[in-house]
Structure 1
Amino acid sequence: MPKPPLDSLRFFEAAARRLSVKQAAEELHVTPGAVSQQLRKLESFLGQPLFERRARGLALNAAGRDYLDACRQALDLIDHATARLTDARRVILLSCTPSFGAQWLLPRLQGFMREHPRIDVHVSTGNRVVDLASENIHFAVRHGLGDYPGLSACKLLDDELTPVCAPTLPARLDALSGERLLHDEHRGDWRLWSRAAGLELDCEQGVVCVDSNAAIEAALAGRGYALARRSLLQAELTAGRLRELPAPPLRSDLAYYLIHRPDLLRDPEMGVFKQWLLEQAAAAQNKSPPDGGLVAQQRLG
């Protein structure tokens, strides 16, 4: 049986992932005409179309969706085998919020790098929700309810908000006042917490920080009281760099979830990284880690 041209498969995968000839061309560093030519070549080889051409871009038809799944698996296997044979470093791309990255992930990541020196983890932080398919990101950590259609989602950390301050400030509820509150960009957390705690606070006052990470940095510097996600700041609390005020935390239905494409764990390194994240999260909460998948049980040298 004749085999399809490999270049056409790579062009097809990029165009199908981005659903745009122009964006696929930019990713592959070729012209849009070259992408269109390779797509026509592949469709001619298969004897049927894989896309519906629309005014605003491309849409996969049923045959295209089936073929994309097979292409991804084949190309991932080729890339993995090539990396093994050439002793190339494996790169894992992860997207997360600035607070999760700075407060929880980055302090732990050096341990993974020591265990797996041939795997590089590149962390991109931002509050924008990335598209795991079109942006070619392997993993994302998202704060939400766990409902992510078409993606695999595994809970990492539960979410509780607790008031904290530096050791230089009194860790007492009667020390709280509106002007000493540190807000993140959403501003609503203190109002929710004070209502649940039965306290009257002027939550319109205080300092508004650019994000929750900046609010915690201000609290560490002794500039006021912040609401912290306990799961992210356990190290600071244990070390005494921050102190909790004597009040029950505000529990949330939201949590931190690790998200990835369902087919990602065909790559053993991806499975190992996922299992490491689950183990780190479980240890931080004194829980047993869930199984990250059969592939994740493989330990790499």
Structure 2
Amino acid sequence: MFHKLPSLNSIRAFEASARLGSFKAAAIELNVTPTAISHQIRALEDELNIRLFERKTRKVMLTSEGKILAETAYQSLHGLLTKINDLKKFPNDLTVSTTNSFATKWLVPNLNLFQSLNPDINIQIRGEDDIVDIENDRRFDLAIRYGDPSQLSHKNPLISCALFTESFSLYATPNYWHTHLKEKQPIQFFATQWKNPILAPLDLDEQLLKKFPHAKVQYFNDENFTVQAALSGQGVALLGKISAEHSVKNSWLICGEDDYSLQILGHDYYLVIPQRVAHLPSVKVFKQWLLEMMQHKKITPH
């Protein structure tokens, strides 16, 4: 019955190329070379005797016939993957995508708590500031993002779960606070300019000039750098509560008080779950752990 169908490898290569719009991106997802993808697509076109892609200099575009086949291929492979996942009793591997800052400052330091409670679940953390296509990119199972969850695309339904509304305050080493308060030295501030243009800026200059007319502000494009500037005793950093939590818990940084207090409400941290994995027990366990850690145990608003 199915002996006339093209090979599954060629269908997978075509579907990935069509979805990602690139032979190179498809090669990365399928862990093969771009040349192998190109050969698979060419063989499929020869077998079907139709042209599936228009080859451009730096991208490929589906033909009208290619669009029809791409939709069918996606639905078929997605349905097959869903049924295979349903047959698995308890998939133990989870790959979580999140920002470098959240991974470094909160998730990795707390991950041993999750592993001690769930030793059979193997979690891989992928830190990257670019938003991944979590619904279609099979390298990832979950994503923890920072921003406005209402901006999620509804083209492919995703489940979002609010974790925590961030708040920003001023943090510095105990020695820096003591020196500045005692000797009234000029104060140096550090803050972060988001790489993601969707995120609203912190407007630190406006906030600080109201309280500190002679303030000097230096910006970094990564919150990890902002944290390190404060930890090295160079000045006062405007940090999110989650980014500062580990340093505060170890008494490396303390929050400003009285005249040096400043609080700004930020965006939400939220968990994104693709429909294709929402039913998995390991996903449900990780989601529940995050909610308990961030809402009831470890993270509480100022």
State the TM-score, normalizing by the size of structure 1.
0.72
The runs of 5 or more residues in structure 1 that have no matched partner are 288-301
Any idea what SS the aligned residue of 1:228 has?
A: strand
CA 1:10/1:113 → structure 2, altered by over 3 Å: closer, same or farther? Answer: farther
CA 1:6/1:83 → structure 2, altered by over 3 Å: closer, same or farther? Answer: farther
User: Does the CA contact (< 8 Å) of 1:96 and 1:126 recur in 2?
Assistant: yes
Which aligned pairs between 1:1-301 and structure 2 lie closer than 5 A?
2=2, 6-7=8-9, 10-25=12-27, 27-29=30-32, 30-38=36-44, 53-55=53-55, 56-59=59-62, 61=67, 64-65=70-71, 67-78=73-84, 81=87, 90-132=92-134, 133-134=136-137, 136-146=139-149, 147-150=151-154, 151-170=158-177, 179-185=187-193, 189-194=203-208, 198-203=210-215, 205-209=216-220, 211-246=222-257, 247-252=261-266, 254-283=267-296, 284-286=298-300
User: Partners in 1 of 2:289 and 2:281 — Cα distance?
Assistant: 12
Which structure has more relative contact order (CA 8 Å, sep 6+)? It is 2
CA 1:33/1:229 → structure 2, altered by over 3 Å: closer, same or farther? Answer: same
Deviation track 1:8-43 (CA, whole Å, cap 9, x = no partner) reads 5544543343233454345342342224435776x7
Aligned residue for 2:197?
none
User: Partners in 2 of 1:158 and 1:130 — Cα distance?
Assistant: 22
Pairwise CA distance, 1:149: 0.6
Aligned length: 273
The runs of 5 or more residues in structure 2 that have no matched partner are 195-200
Deviation track 1:120-146 (CA, whole Å, cap 9, x = no partner) reads 222222333333334732222222111
Any idea what SS the aligned residue of 2:278 has?
A: helix
Any idea what SS the aligned residue of 2:140 has?
A: coil
CA 1:179/1:166 → structure 2, altered by over 3 Å: closer, same or farther? Answer: closer
User: Partners in 2 of 1:234 and 1:100 — Cα distance?
Assistant: 11
Any idea what SS the aligned residue of 2:242 has?
A: coil
User: Does the CA contact (< 8 Å) of 2:180 and 2:186 recur in 1?
Assistant: no
Any idea what SS the aligned residue of 2:146 has?
A: strand
Pairwise CA distance, 1:110: 1.3
State the TM-score, normalizing by the size of structure 2.
0.72
Identity of aligned residues (%): 21
User: Does the CA contact (< 8 Å) of 1:25 and 1:35 recur in 2?
Assistant: no
User: Partners in 2 of 1:31 and 1:235 — Cα distance?
Assistant: 45
Amino acid at match of 2:268: A
User: Does the CA contact (< 8 Å) of 1:17 and 1:134 recur in 2?
Assistant: no
Supply the RMSD in Å over aligned alpha carbons: 3.7
CA 1:8/1:210 → structure 2, altered by over 3 Å: closer, same or farther? Answer: closer
Amino acid at match of 1:251: L
